[in-house]
A and B are shown apart, each in its own frame.
Chain A
Amino acid sequence: MSFNPEEELRRLLARFDLLAGIVRATWYEWRQAALEFAKPGTKPLDLVLRAWEIVGHDTAMSYFMALRKNSPTFLEDLGRLIVMSSRAMGEDAVVVKSDKPNEVFVQWNECPWPEFARRYKADMEEDVLGCDKWFQTVIEDVNKHFGTKVKLETLKAIPRGDPICLRRLSMEG
C-alpha cells in the first residue's frame, strides 16, 4: 500500500498543534469562568496558583512511577521528566548538566504560554508564578514521597522578558 509518510506526520502534527492550542485556550477560558463565579474580591493570581497546585499534585503522581530513590541519576531523571511534561505542553525544553554534583538545570528555549496569556489578558507575572507553583508543588510532593531534599529555583523567565526560562534543580545529601 503506498502512502506518503511525511503527509501522515504533518497531519498528526497539525492535529496535535490544534489540540495543544485548545488545551491552552481552555485553561484561560476556565480561568475566566471561575473568576466570574468566584467570591467578590478573589484575586486572579490566588485562583491560578491554586489551579497550578492541583496540576502539580497530579503531575507528581505520574513522576513517582518513573523515579527510583536510589538511582544515581535521580536529579537528572527528575529534570528529564520536567522536560517531558513541558514538551508535551508545546514548550521546547532541555536538561543542562552542571559541573557540580547534585545540580542540573532545565532550560526552556520556547514557550507558547505567554502568547496565550496575552491573548486572554492575563498578567505575565501570573504566568511565571503559575509555572513556579506547578513545579514547586511537584518538587514538594517528590520530596515527601521519596524523603529527598530537592530544591527548585527559577533563574530566568520568558514572560519576564528573558530570552529563556531557566530553573536550577539541586539536592542536599
Chain B
Amino acid sequence: MMYSKIKTKKGDSTINYDELVSKWQEQYKQLPGSQMFPNLFKPITIKRVKIANRIKYAATEDNFNTHDGFITDKDVAYIRERARGLVGGICTIQGVYMDPKGEGKGYVGQAAAWDDKFIPGLKRLADAIHEEGAIANIQLMHCGRVGGVELEYCVGPSDVPQRLRVLKPVKEMSKEEIKTSIKEHAEAARRGLEASYDIIEISGIVGYLISNFLSSYTNKRTDEYGGDIENRCRYMVEVIEAVRDAVGNDVPIFIRLCAQELLDEMGGNTPEESMVTYKMAEKAGVDCISVTQGWQESLHSVITRDIPQGHWLYNAKRAKQNVKVPISMAYRLFKPEMADKAVAEGIIDIWEMCRPLIADPYLPKKALEGKLEDIRYCIACNLCLARLFRDAPITCAVNPLVGHEWDERWKIKPAEKKKKVMVVGGGPAGLQCALVAAQKGHDVHLYEMRNILGGQVVYASKGPYGEEELYGIIEWLRRQCEMAGVKFHLSTYVTPELIETEKPDVVVIATGVKFVVPKIPGSELPNVVLATDILEGRVETGERVVMWGGRGDGIIAALYLATKGKKVTIVTKDRKPGVDVNPSYIWRYLLKIGQTGGKVYRFSDLEAIEENRVIVKGAYGVRIPVPADTVVVSIRETRTELVEAAKKLCGEVHVIGDALIPRRLHNAIHDGYRVGLRI
C-alpha cells in the first residue's frame, strides 16, 4: 500500500490519512469481506488519525528483542507480517519500558524507550507498519508489580506482597519516584512520535503499574495517590496529562484499562470503581479505551477455553454506558462474524486481537477476501504466554513460523525435484508435514488407520471445558491439505507390503502413540480400561476411578470423569500431575478434579490392581491401598513398528511427532513443519 506524508499544523510530518483510507476503501469495495463484514471494514477517525478499518493488533510482548531493549530484525519481521495482515488497521507494537533501571521491565526481551538511542529501532518498527499501509501504535508499559524482571525487586504504589512466586517483591514508590515515572511516560511518548508512530497507547492493565495505582488491592497509600478511587486515579490522570502535553492535542492517546479486575478475594476494585477509572481517563483526555478484564494474580479464568467466545462483551457494553470515547476490546473475541456484530450493535468500535493474530497474522486479510475457511484460528493453548513467563521468545502451537518470519530458511519454497511422499499417520504432525510437502510441490499421500484425522487431538478435544476448540486446527490442516492436493487414505493401515507396492521416495512416520497397560499383578482384570475408551464413550466406569498416569491425556480423561461426578485419584510418577500441561490450564483442571473428591499421588506408581482397590507404591516407598472400581490407564508409548521396515524399503525416512517422542501438540506441528521443509 503506497502512502504519502503531509505536514501537520505543528509542522511535523505525518501520513496523509485521507489518501491512505481512500486507497484502502477502494480495495475493500472489490473484495467480498467488505460486504460480509461491513462494520469491520468501515473507517474511523480518532483525532488526526483516520483508520481504514476497525481492526487492531493488540500489544503483544514477544521477547524477541535484546535484553538491553533494542529492536531486532526478528521483531521487525514479526511486526511487519502482522501489519501486512491488518489491511490498513492499527498495529500496536509491544509495550515499551521507560526507565533506565528496568523497574518497569516485565519481560527479558521487552523493547525500551528510556533514551533517544532507542528511537531508530522503534522507527524501524513504525516504518515496517507504515510500509504495509497500517497505522502504527506504540504502547507505553511500566509493568509495576509484574516488572523488575532482571532486578531483585519491582515497584508499586505500596509494598503489597505478591501472590505469584514468579513475581518480584514490591518496593513502595516515593513521591519523587512517582513524579519521575510520570515524566518517563511523557518522554517515551515524545520518542514514540519522533519514531513516527501515529497513536500513543498507555497500558493500565493486568497488574501493571497504572492498574496497581487504580486497584484497592495494591494501592494502600495514605497520600494523595491513595485512598478513595478518585485519589487512586491520580497517577493515571497525571500520566495521561503528561503524555498529552508531550504529544499535543491532535495525536490520539489510547489507554487499556481493566473493566473488571476479578480480584474480589483480595479486596480489589468493584466493577463500579473500574468504571470510575474509565470516566477519569476520558476526562483526562484519552481518545479510545481498550476494555480488559482480570489480572495475572486473579483466581478466575479470563482467556482460557472454558470462557465462551464473546463472553466479556458485557464489559464493553458497560464501558459504552459510561464513556463516550471509542471502545475497543480483545479477550476471547476471535471470529470476525462476532466482532462485526459487536461493532454493528455499538458494543465496540474497534476489534482488537492479540493471540488470534499470532496464530494467523492474515486473519483480517482473509476475512476481507471472504476466505474464512482459510483462517487458522488460535486454539487458546496459551503456549505464547507460558513461554513469556519462562523468559523465552514466544512461539505458537498452530503457527510454526512465529519468530522465524525473518528467516528465509523457514519459508516454503518449490522443491527442486518432485517426490512421492507417503505420510503415515493423520495426526497434527502428519497433517502439517503433508501440507508443507504438498505446498512445495510434492505428490503427497497421507495414510490414517482410523476413519478420522487428528490423532491425539481427537481425544484431547473431548475435554469438558471448551476443548472442542482444539480440533479446529485439525480441520484447518485438513482443508489446507485438500487445497494443496494431498491425497487422503483413511481407514488404511500401512504395512511394509503397502510401502513396497507404492514405492514412495520418502516415508514420514507420524504414527503417534499407543496406550499400553504395564504388566503388574491384576493388570489383566476387566476393571482396567484405557483413557481412550473413556473419551470415546466406549466404557462406563464405577464411581471411584484411579487414573494411572498423570500426563495431559490422563488429565483430560480425569476431567471428563470428574464432570460426571466420579472421584478420580491420579497416580503419577512425575513430581506433579499434568507436568506437560500449560500452566494457564493445569491449576484450574486440578481444582475441578479436586471439587468432586479427586486426589493425587505423585512420585507414585501402581504396584497391583485388585477388584475394588489398587495398591499405590508412593513416595518414601510406602504402599497405600486406594479404593478403585475402575482403573483407567493413560500411559503411552511410541508406535514405531513400521520404522525399521520403512528404512529397508525407502531411501528417505523421517520419524516425527509423538512417534519420535510423546510430547505436546505444538511439538507435533513444529516437527511436521520442519520435516516438511526438508523433504
Q: Which residues of A contact B (CB under 8 A)?
A: 1, 3, 5, 8-9, 11-12, 15-16, 57, 60-61, 64-65, 67-70, 141, 144-147
Contacts and interface: CB of A to CB of B under 8 A. Distances in A.
Given A69-B264, A69-B265, 7 more contacts: A1-B608, A1-B610, A9-B622, A11-B621, A60-B161, A144-B220, A146-B267
A146 B266 contact: yes
A136 to B, nearest CB: 14
Contacts of B161: 57, 60-61, 64, 141, 144-145
Q: Main SS of the interface on chain B?
A: loop
B625 interface: yes
Nearest to A7: B623
Given A1-B610, A147-B216, A15 B620 contact: yes
A1 B607 contact: yes
Give the residue among A1, A8, A141, A144 with the most B Cβ atoms within 10 A. A1
Interface residues on B, range: 20 to 34
Nearest to B163: A64
Nearest to A15: B620
A171 B165 CA distance: 27
Given A8-B622, A12-B622, A141-B161, A147 B267 contact: yes
A70 B220 contact: no
Q: Main SS of the interface on chain A?
A: helix
A67 B216 CA distance: 17
B158 interface: yes
Nearest to A1: B608
Give the residue among A11, A16, A67, A144 with the most B Cβ atoms within 10 A. A144
Interface in B119-162: 158-162
Contact of A69 (B266, B521, B622): B266
A60 B169 CA distance: 13
B490 interface: no
B287 to A, nearest CB: 34
B478 to A, nearest CB: 42
B624 interface: yes
Give the residue among B161, B216, B264, B624 with the most A Cβ atoms within 10 A. B161
Contacts of A60: 161
Give the residue among B217, B264, B620, B625 with the most A Cβ atoms within 10 A. B620
A19 to B, nearest CB: 9
Contact of B620 (A5, A11, A147): A11
A12 B620 contact: yes
Contacts of A141: 161
B284 interface: no
B264 to A, nearest CB: 7
A11 B158 CA distance: 48
Please provide the 10 A-B residue pairs with the shortest distance between their CB atoms, ordered closest to farther.
A1-B608, A12-B622, A141-B161, A15-B620, A69-B267, A8-B623, A64-B163, A68-B265, A147-B267, A8-B622
